[in-house]
Structure 1
C-alpha cells in the first residue's frame, strides 16, 4: 500500500478482509509488524443499526491472572466487538474487553461499571489494549519489529479489586483491521467509550443490572476520550447512567498539544494525529499533498503500524520539520492554514457541559500534554456549570517531557481509583471550581 494511500481519506493500516455475517466471507487472521491479529478483529461487512450493539464475543484468557477462592483473579474476561458511530456519522466496529470481577462489590446497590479508555498505545492493530490483556507483552520480530506493553492493567486491576466491573475500549481502528486508528479524534473516542458501556450492559451472564451506575476512567489519550464522552453523553447516550469521570492529563486543545510533542520522546503521537486527521477529514488530503515531502510520507506510513515502544525507539526527539517540503513544523502549518485550524478547533474539549461529576487531574509540570490547556478545559466546564473537581498534581520537574507527563499517571492513580469508587458508592464529591483559576 502506497504512502499516499496511507494518508488519504481511505487511510488503512492493514488490508481488510472477510466477515462473519451472512452472506459472509470467512474472517481470517492478519499480520501487523510480525504480530498475528486474530480473526476476531476483522469486522463484518454489515453492522447493526443500534449503537452499543454487540457484534461478537469470545472468552479472553488474561495474561496476568491468579487462582482464587471464589474464582480466577482478577476475574473472568470476555473479548467484545460492538457497533459505534464515527465522527462522519458512519457505523464503525470497535473492539475491547469486559472483565467480570472475582471480588465482591462492597458498596451499596448493584455492582457498578467503569469504562477504561486506554492511554496512548500506538496506531498499529497489534497495539490494541484488548490484545495486550491476552498477551501481556506484545512482541513482533522481522523486517519491522514491534513491542507493546499493556500498562493499563495497573488501573484496571485496581478497579477490579474493589469489585467494580471494567470494560475497556480499543477505540475505532485500533485492533479492528478495516481502518486506521483515528488517534485523539474527539467524537470517535467519546462515542466508543459510551458505546462500550452499552455493550457491557448488554452482555449475558454478568452481575451488572439496569441499576448499575457507570463511571469513566482515562489518562492522556484516555483522559481526552472520557472527557469527550462526559460531554457527549446527554445527547448521544442518555441511556448510560453516567455518575462520575476521572479525566487525567486530557489533550483538550490539540493545537497546543501538537506544538508541545514535536521534538519530544513521543514525536510518534504527532504522526498518529496527522494520519487520523486525514482519515477523518478527507479535505485535508490537499494540504498534505502540498506540504509533505517524500520523507514525511514514508515516516507517516511507518508510524501508522507502530506502537509506542517502536515510535520512541525510532523517532524520539526528532522534529516534524523533516516531514515537510518547506522545513516548517506541523504546528507552523496548522497556524498558517485556516482549514487545519478550523478542524482542530472542532476537536476542542471543554465547549459542552459534562454529565455527572468530573475529576480533572494534570501534572503542573506536564510539558508533553501541557498543564495549561487541561486546566483551561476544567475552567471552561466550570463556566458552563459543570460539577468539576480540579486536582493539580505536583511532582518534581525533570528534563524528560515523557516522564513529566507519565509521572502523575502513577502517582495519582490510587487516588483516582478511590475517588471513582466513592462516587459509584454514592458518596458526594466536593467540587472546587474556585481553585481552577487560582492554581
Structure 2
C-alpha cells in the first residue's frame, strides 16, 4: 500500500470500476496471446480463418471528422484551445455541463523542432465529489499504446470505449477508460491526451518522449482552460507504458516548458525510457507491430531517415512499415504478432542490431531517452515496472529512476514481482498495469492532499 490513503477508502463505485477493468483487460490480453500463439504454431502471420484486419485499405478516419482538422492558422500560444465538441461518455450523469460530462478539445502544442501543431484530447468533468484537500485536482492521463492510426486516439472512441476505421478495419479499444472513470468518480477532473498525430493529421510520433511530454503539458494547460480553472490549479500526470513515458517526460520538462503549472505528482508505469533496450524486447513479440509505429514516427520528424527503408528493408519489411502506419494495437497483434524482424531486412540483421549500428537511427532513438536531457523533477514521481516485464525491460526503468534520484528528485520505484508467464505475450506487461492501478491512484491522491511523498532512492 502506497501512502496513507488506502484503496479501501475509495468509493464502492470506484473499487468496482478498478475490479472490472482488471478482469476486462486481462481477458483481452490472454485472448490475444492465445490467438497469436495458435497462429504462430501453424506458421501463419495472422489467426487462421480470420480475415480481419484486411491487409490493405486506405484509412478513412482523417477526413471523416472535421473536428480534428486544424485551421490554416494556429494560435501562437502552446496549450491554447482551438475548438471543442461534446463527447458523450458512460459517466455523463446530467448532460451538457453536468457531473461527468465530457468534451473533445483541439489545442495547440509543439513538435520537438519547435513547430506549432494541433493536438487533440478529451476533458472529463468529475462525476464524484472531491473530499480531499483544496480544490478538485486535474489528472492528466497519457494513454498506453493504442496504435498509430487516427482512429486509435482515445478521444475518437464512441462513448470513450470503442471505434472502427471503415477504410482499413483498424479497431480502437479504449481499454484504460475504466481508470479514467475511477479518477472521475473520486472527484478529479480528467484530461485524456491523444498525443501528436494520433487523431490529428500527420504521422503519430510514437514514443518520441520529448514531444509526448510537451503534448501532455499543453493538454494540461488546455484542459484547465476548458474547465474554467486557474493555471495554478493542482495537476498530476498519470500513464502506463507509452503513457508512462509521456507522463515521466512531462514531469521532467514541466519546470522549463510549463513552469506555471502546479504539478503535485506523477505516476509513470513501465516507461519506455531507453528505446535501444526496448526494441530488442518487442522483437518476436505479440506486439512487434509497435516497432513499425516507432520507425514511422521517427521518419515523420526526421525525414533524413527515410532512406533506411531502401538501405535495410526487404519487400516484407517495407510492407510492415506501410501497414503499421495506420493500425491500432489489436489489429497489429493479429497481423504482425511474433514476427522476427530478421525476416524483414535484406541482410538478416534484426531491427535492434540495425538501430545500434546505424549512427543516424541510434542518435534519434537516444534523443528520446528519459532522464537524459532533462532531469529536473519539480514534484514527486512514482515509477513501477514488473521485474519480469517482457515488453518494457525492468532494468532500463530502474536506471531511469536512479538518474532522477541522482538529480535530487523524490522518487518511489516499485518492482512488481509477478513471475514470468508466457514470455513475449505481453501478459507480464499488462498485468502489472492492473495490479498497480490502485496503489498508483492512492499515490496520486496523497500528492493532491500534500502528504509527505515516499522515496526509496538509494534502496532499489
Q: Is the shorter-chain TM-score for this pair beyond 0.5, marking a shared fold?
A: yes
Q: Cα–Cα, structure 1 residues 211 and 84, in superposed 2: closer, same or farther, change >3 Å?
A: closer
Are residues 1:59 and 2:82 paired?
A: no
Contact 1:111 1:207 in 2 (8 A): no
Q: Cα–Cα, structure 1 residues 325 and 83, in superposed 2: closer, same or farther, change >3 Å?
A: same
The aligned residue for residue 193 of structure 2 is: 169
Contact 1:110 1:211 in 2 (8 A): no
The aligned residue for residue 21 of structure 2 is: none
Report the alpha carbon displacement of residue 70 of structure 1 after superposing the two structures with TM: 13
3-state SS in 1 of match to 2:112: coil
Are residues 1:300 and 2:321 paired?
A: yes
Q: Which whole-Å deviations, capped at 9, do the CAs of 1:128-155 have from their partners, x for residues lacking one?
A: 001125352223456x322221111122
Are residues 1:227 and 2:248 paired?
A: yes
Cα distance between partner residues in 2 of 1:297 and 1:136: 32
> Which of 333, 349, 363 is the matching residue for 1:328?
349
Are residues 1:344 and 2:365 paired?
A: yes
In the superposition, the TM-score normalised over structure 1's length comes to 0.87
Cα distance between partner residues in 2 of 1:210 and 1:198: 7
> Which of 449, 452, 456 is the matching residue for 1:425?
449
Report the alpha carbon displacement of residue 288 of structure 1 after superposing the two structures with TM: 2.8
Cα distance between partner residues in 2 of 1:354 and 1:41: 33
> Which of 117, 120, 126 is the matching residue for 1:92?
117
Cα distance between partner residues in 2 of 1:36 and 1:155: 30
> Which of 65, 89, 92 is the matching residue for 1:38?
65
Contact 1:79 1:130 in 2 (8 A): yes
The aligned residue for residue 386 of structure 2 is: 363
RMSD (CA atoms) = 2.0
Where do 5+ consecutive residues of structure 1 fail to align? 1-30
Cα distance between partner residues in 2 of 1:317 and 1:347: 25
Q: Which whole-Å deviations, capped at 9, do the CAs of 1:254-301 have from their partners, x for residues lacking one?
A: 000011101100001011001011111122123333112222122111
Cα distance between partner residues in 2 of 1:360 and 1:299: 32
Q: Which 10-residue stretch deviates more, 349-358 or 91-100?
A: 349-358
Q: Cα–Cα, structure 1 residues 435 and 170, in superposed 2: closer, same or farther, change >3 Å?
A: same
The aligned residue for residue 17 of structure 2 is: none
Are residues 1:396 and 2:423 paired?
A: no
Are residues 1:182 and 2:208 paired?
A: no
Q: Which whole-Å deviations, capped at 9, do the CAs of 1:156-203 have from their partners, x for residues lacking one?
A: 111111101110110000000x20100000121000000001001111
Contact 1:320 1:330 in 2 (8 A): yes
Cα distance between partner residues in 2 of 1:341 and 1:413: 33
> Which of 287, 302, 316 is the matching residue for 1:266?
287
Contact 1:133 1:153 in 2 (8 A): no
Are residues 1:114 and 2:119 paired?
A: no
Q: Which whole-Å deviations, capped at 9, do the CAs of 1:348-398 have from their partners, x for residues lacking one?
A: 101223220000011111021111111110011111111101111111310
Contact 2:86 2:96 in 1 (8 A): no
Q: Which 10-residue stretch deviates more, 331-340 or 270-279?
A: 331-340
The aligned residue for residue 76 of structure 1 is: 101
The aligned residue for residue 218 of structure 2 is: 195
Q: What is the aligned residue count?
A: 400
The aligned residue for residue 151 of structure 1 is: 175
Cα distance between partner residues in 2 of 1:244 and 1:397: 30
Contact 1:190 1:225 in 2 (8 A): yes
The aligned residue for residue 130 of structure 2 is: 105
Cα distance between partner residues in 2 of 1:290 and 1:210: 48
Q: Cα–Cα, structure 1 residues 59 and 376, in superposed 2: closer, same or farther, change >3 Å?
A: same
Contact 1:124 1:174 in 2 (8 A): yes
Contact 2:165 2:171 in 1 (8 A): yes
3-state SS in 2 of match to 1:373: helix
Where do 5+ consecutive residues of structure 2 fail to align? 1-57
> Which of 134, 159, 173 is the matching residue for 2:159?
134
The aligned residue for residue 19 of structure 1 is: none
Q: Cα–Cα, structure 1 residues 186 and 418, in superposed 2: closer, same or farther, change >3 Å?
A: same
Cα distance between partner residues in 1 of 2:210 and 2:309: 22
The aligned residue for residue 3 of structure 2 is: none
Q: Cα–Cα, structure 1 residues 290 and 49, in superposed 2: closer, same or farther, change >3 Å?
A: same
Q: Which 10-residue stretch deviates more, 163-172 or 292-301?
A: 292-301
3-state SS in 2 of match to 1:242: strand
